[in-house]
């Protein structure tokens, strides 16, 4: 034997031993995997059996199945997937289950649930039967989707394209005809999408209902305007949201559920303050804008639901898109998982309030730089705007803005009120009323010095209206300048001017229109930088609000 052969013998023996060990490890691993799978199956079966018994017992208590069936009747399963192929029917689901692997390695987990709507052809609350023969929904629940799945083919969308054919329709509907091609996250209707779900659950609305858009087109022509073709100028409104029946007629005819997000109509506005303005000679009846002695006003009005282009919204707030998506998901209790799993979908319909516009005079004058334009951008305040609370200036300032808009229209100009649903500085009315309590119970009284502090103590921030998105509606209307801005807000002024729309004159609320208990708010805001003609220093500690028990 050569020296080289003698040297290789131990190495070959060691290699053989290693290969034997590897083989033994593989066999042990295979056995272990088998045991784990058996354990998982046994556990799943046990959980299913327990859930079935619990659900059937509950159904029996509700009178939906006989008591003697509660422990023996087999319920139908709702399968819950984090991701799966899109299917329209139970039989199609079974076909996918037998032929297609799960996307992205997500296991075929299932959760046993009782489809109570399908039991005995009734609903748990005694409402109408479900819309399918087996219940309201088929038994498969899709928690989210991913790009590239079988059956997922979003309609192309080019945000900022001036041509609607190139831009493409925004489709968020889960209607069977649109589910595979939807290119937006969320649901139509803003905050009212939840009520739509309730209507479906109660049996009052068919989930497959599609709106009949016949005769719903705008009463006046809006646009197109140059800003519609800029992906940066408008990021929170669909510029074609009012014209879907026209510009996306082909898609509608093909069965795609494209829905308007903007509606434009006409109306008479009746406010007791306008009648008073006529009696005192501040307004005149012209039969066009002010139509009679009762102060009725002719207006063109519109409603706008939010449609967010997420990259543009992120840019406005100075954050990256991933952070925005994560915050919208995490800090809303896991709202819309597709915010995380579908980075290819760039449009989001948030479940928040939208805005209204009220145009006084000719709408086409809004985009005519030769015409004088008066504007008030107003954020909702239910307590004052509707019910007349005197702790703030909201309704008086809104009324003053409307009166000034009417005067502009009667002087061959145009007026515009933009009304945003941002109750309580977008903190909500509950928070606002908590702040009122804290202010009135504060040691030393309700002072202007502590006005913003009380809000920050409760909400953590003094204002969440974030006016960064507000100018979009002005761009949508084709506005290129504002002659008179009826507002003291520095945030609104900075946002509008920063968006490239100059403001020639800022108009504060007249002192004689301040409600009795609103001086605390005004002084605090002026001290914080709000616009005012009063340059005198304000003693914030001396400005105090009325106590609850005071009568004056």
Q: Is 246 a catalytic residue?
A: no
What one-character DSSP code corresponds to residue 88? S
Q: Is 126 left (phi over 0), alpha (psi -120 to 50) or beta?
A: left
Angle at the Cα of 114 (from 113 to 117), degrees rounded to 5? Answer: 130
The whole-angstrom separation of Cα 252 and Cα 466 is 36
Q: Using CA atoms in the order 80, 85, 90, 92, what is the torsion angle rounded to 10 degrees?
A: -160
Residues forming beta bridges with residue 503, ordered by sequence position:
482
The active-site residue out of 463, 472, 517, 523 is 463
The strand pair at 355-360 and 414-420 is best described as antiparallel
| 373-379/414-420 β-pairing | parallel
Supply the DSSP symbol for 146.
-
DSSP string, 311-369: HHHHHHTTS-HHHHHHHHHHTTTS--THHHH-TT--EEE-SS--EEEEEES-GGGGG-T
Residues forming beta bridges with residue 360, ordered by sequence position: 415
- Count, residues in the chain: 552
Quickly tell me which residue has 């008479």 as its tokens.
268
90 is catalytic: no
Q: How far is CA 470 from CA 40, 171, 293, 353, 497, in A?
A: 53, 24, 35, 13, 11
Look-up of token digits 């805001």: 525
Q: How far apart are CA 502 and CA 157, in angstroms?
A: 32
Please pick, among 465, 484, 506, 546, the residue that the annotation labels catalytic: 465
The whole-angstrom separation of Cα 452 and Cα 434 is 13
Helix ranges restricted to H, 62-115: 90-99
Residues known to be catalytic: 463, 465
């Amino acid at each position: 034997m050569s020296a080289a052969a003698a040297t290789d013998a131990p190495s070959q023996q060691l290699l053989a031993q290693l290969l034997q060990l590897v083989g033994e490890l593989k066999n042990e691993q295979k056995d272990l995997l088998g045991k784990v799978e058996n354990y998982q199956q046994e556990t799943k079966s046990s959980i299913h059996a327990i859930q079935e018994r619990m659900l059937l017992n509950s159904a029996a208590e509700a009178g939906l199945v006989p008591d003697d069936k509660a422990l023996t009747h087999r319920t139908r399963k709702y399968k819950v997937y984090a991701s799966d192929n899109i299917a329209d029917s139970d039989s199609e689901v079974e076909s996918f289950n037998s032929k297609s692997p799960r996307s992205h390695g997500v296991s075929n987990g299932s959760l046993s649930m009782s489809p109570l709507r399908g039991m005995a052809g009734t609903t748990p609350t005694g409402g109408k039967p479900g819309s399918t023969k087996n219940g309201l929904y088929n038994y498969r629940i899709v928690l989210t989707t991913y790009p590239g799945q079988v059956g997922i083919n979003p309609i192309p969308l080019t945000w900022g394209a001036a041509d609607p054919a190139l831009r493409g329709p925004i489709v968020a509907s889960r209607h069977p005809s649109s589910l595979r091609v939807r290119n937006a996250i969320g649901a139509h209707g803003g905050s009212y999408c939840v009520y739509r779900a309730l209507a479906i659950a109660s049996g009052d609305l068919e989930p497959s209902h599609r709106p009949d858009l016949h005769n719903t087109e705008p009463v006046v022509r809006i646009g197109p305007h140059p800003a519609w073709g800029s992906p940066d100028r408008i990021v929170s409104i669909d510029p074609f949201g009012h014209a879907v029946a026209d510009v996306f007629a082909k898609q509608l005819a093909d069965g795609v559920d494209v829905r308007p997000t903007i509606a434009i109509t006409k109306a008479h506005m009746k406010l007791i303050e306008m009648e008073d303005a006529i009696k005192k000679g501040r307004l005149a009846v012209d039969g066009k804008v002010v139509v009679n002695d009762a102060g009725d006003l002719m207006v063109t009005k519109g409603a706008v639901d939010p449609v967010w282009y997420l990259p543009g919204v992120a840019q406005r707030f100075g954050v990256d898109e991933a952070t925005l998506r994560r915050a919208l998901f995490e800090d809303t209790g896991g709202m819309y998982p597709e915010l995380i799993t579908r980075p290819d979908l760039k449009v989001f319909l948030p479940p928040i309030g939208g805005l209204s516009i009220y145009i006084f005079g000719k709408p086409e004058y809004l985009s005519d730089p030769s015409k004088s334009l008066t504007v008030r951008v107003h954020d909702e305040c239910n307590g004052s705007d509707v019910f007349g609370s005197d702790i703030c200036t909201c309704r008086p300032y809104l009324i003053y803005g409307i009166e000034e808009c009417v005067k502009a229209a009667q002087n061959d100009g145009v007026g515009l009120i933009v009304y945003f649903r941002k109750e309580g500085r977008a903190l909500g009315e509950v928070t606002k009323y908590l702040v009122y309590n804290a202010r009135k119970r504060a040691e030393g009284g309700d002072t202007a010095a502590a006005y913003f502090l009380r809000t920050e103590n409760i909400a953590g921030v003094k204002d969440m209206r974030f006016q960064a998105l507000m100018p979009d509606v002005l761009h949508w209307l084709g506005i290129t300048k504002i002659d008179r801005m009826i507002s003291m807000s520095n945030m609104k002024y900075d946002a509008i001017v920063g968006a490239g729309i100059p403001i020639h004159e800022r108009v504060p609320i007249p002192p004689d229109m301040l409600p009795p208990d609103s001086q605390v708010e005004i002084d605090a805001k002026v001290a914080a930088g709000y616009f005012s003609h009063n340059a005198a220093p304000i003693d914030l500690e001396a400005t105090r609000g009325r106590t609850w028990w005071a009568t004056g």
